[in-house]
Amino acid sequence: MQLPQRHILSKSTFMYGSQCLKRLWLHKFNPSVRDEEDEAMTALFQSGTDVGLLAQKRYYGGIDASPVDAFHYQQSVVDTANLIARGAKVIYEAAFQFDGVLAAMDIMVKRKDKWYAYEVKSSTSVKEPYLQDAALQYHVITNSGIELEDIFILHLNNKYILNGELDLQQLFSPTSIIEQVRERQESVALKIEELKNMLATKQLPEISVGPHCNIPYSCDFQGYCFKDKKPEILDYGVPSIDKEGIATFLGTLKYPLYFLDFETWCTPIPEQDGQWPYRQMPFQFSLHSQQEEGGAIKHCEYLAENKTTNLLLFVEELLQNIGDNGSILVYNKAFENTRLRELKEQFPQYEQAISILQDRLVDLMTPFRTKQYYLPEMEGSYSIKQVLPALIPDLRYDDLLISEGGEASSAFYNLDKCQDTDSIAEIRTALLNYCQLDTYAMVKILEKLKQV
C-alpha cells in the first residue's frame, strides 16, 4: 500500500475549525503568533498522555501503530491497514485517512469479527466536545472501509477509590456514544467541506472575538486576536460600594475570627489509598486568627513533608489550632467546605468536630461576588488575586516566587523529585509564603470592609 498524500485536516484541526475558522487559519498559516504554552497546560497535556498509556493496559496485547513523529502519520495509516489485514485484534493509535482527512483512534479492539473503537479521555464524564470529536473519527474510519460495531468514550470513573493495587477495570468507564455519533454524520461532512474551502482560499477569516474564544476550549491565539481590542470590549464598570449590604455581612461575624486557606494537589490517576480521580488532596493550610476586634493577629501553618503524608495529620493539626468557636473566614467557601466534607467522610472519628468547622465557615468572597464592594481595578473579577491589589496595592502576589495555586500544587507534587537540599528548602519556604499571603490578604480585606 502506497503512502497517501499528506492530509488537509486532522481531528485536532477539525475541532479548531469547528470552534472558530480564524483559529484554524492561524494554526495553518501563521502559527508563530500562537500564545506561549503555560506550565499548567503542559501538565494537562502530559496527564492526558499518561492516562492514555494506562488505558492501553486495560486492553492488553495490542500493537502500537503510532507514527515516529507528527510528520509521519501517513506511514501510520499504512501500518494500521497492514495490521488489520494481518488479523490484529488490538491496535493502539490506529490511524485512518479519507478524502484528505486524518483521524487516529486511541484503541481499536476486534471481538468476534467486529470492531470496537475506544477514545480515551482523562475526564470523569462524557462531554459535548467529545461527541463532535468522535463523530469525525467515525466518519473517517467507516469511510475507510472499517465498519464499527460500537464506539466508546473511555473516561475515568470518579466513583473508584484506590485501595491497594490499581484496578484498571474499575478505574476506567466505557460509555457508548454510537447513536450520538451517527446522528452527526451529515453535519460533520458539511463542516469538513466548509473548512477545506476556507483553507483553499488562504484568506484570513474576519471573525470578532467573543464567547467562542473559550468555548469549548481556550483558544491559543487570544493574544493575537485581543491585542488591539481589549479596551473596547471589556467594560470594567464604575465603583460600587453598598454600605448597608457590607454592614449586614459584617454583622454575621463572630469573634474570635479565623482566616483559613487550603492548598491541594490532584492527579487523574489515584496514587494512594483513599484517593479517587482528581480528588483534591490537602497538603497545606495557613491560619491567621484574631481573638477580639482590634486585637493582635496571630498566625500558624502546616505543610506536609511530602505528598504521601497521611491526611490524618492534616486534620489533627487543623483541629488543634482552629479553636472551638468563632467565625472561620475563607475565600470561596465551596472549596474548603468540600475538602472538609471529604476529610470527614474519610475520618469518621472526627465527623462531629469537622461538621462544627463547616458550620462556622463564612465566605469573604460574598461582598465582592455580589458587587457590594466593587472597583474598576478589579477588572470585572472577584478573585482574591484581583481584589487584593485593588484594595491594598502594597500587597501583591506577583512579587512571590510561587504566586498562584496551580504553581503551588505543582511545586509540592514534584518536591520529592528534587535532590538538592537547598532547593527543597527554598520551595517549601515559597509554599509557606504563598499560603500565608492568602490568609493575611483576607485579614487586610476585612479591615477595608470595616472602614466602609
Q: Can you give the residue ranges of every domain in the chain?
A: 11-207+215-226, 240-451
Give CA–CA dist 25/34, Å, rounded.
12
Confidence class for position 49, pLDDT limits 50, 70, 90: confident
Confidence class for position 238, pLDDT limits 50, 70, 90: confident
Assigned C-alpha cell, 230 = 481589549
CATH of domain 11-207+215-226: 3.90.320
Summary mean pLDDT of the chain: 94
- Residues 186-225 pLDDT 10s: 999 999 999 999 999 989 999 999 999 999 999 999 999 9
- 257-265 vs 281-290, strand pairing mode: antiparallel
Give pLDDT, residue 229. 60
- Residue 248's contacts (CB-CB under 8 Å, 6 or more residues apart) are none
pLDDT at 228 over 90: no
- Residues 383-435 pLDDT 10s: 999 999 999 999 988 889 999 999 999 999 999 899 899 999 999 999 999 99
pLDDT at 233 over 50: no
- Residues 367-380 pLDDT 10s: 999 999 999 999 88
Give pLDDT, residue 146. 97
Give pLDDT, residue 234. 46
Assigned C-alpha cell, 94 = 490506529
Above pLDDT 90, what percent of the chain?
Answer: 88
The answer to whether 269 and 171 have CB atoms below 8 angstroms apart is yes
Q: Which amino acid is located at 442 in the chain?
A: M
Q: What is the 3-state secondary structure (H, E, C) of 195-224?
A: HHHHHHHCCCCCCCCCHHHHCCCCCCCHHH
Same fold, 11-207+215-226 and 240-451: no
pLDDT at 163 over 60: yes
Confidence class for position 154, pLDDT limits 50, 70, 90: very high
Q: What is the mean pLDDT of residues 54-64?
A: 96
| Residue that the C-alpha cell 490511524 belongs to | 95
- Residues 111-140 pLDDT 10s: 999 999 999 999 999 999 999 999 999 999
pTM to 2 decimal places: 0.88
CA angle 181, 185, 186 (to 5 degrees): 145
* Architecture, CATH, for domain 240-451: 2-Layer Sandwich (3.30)
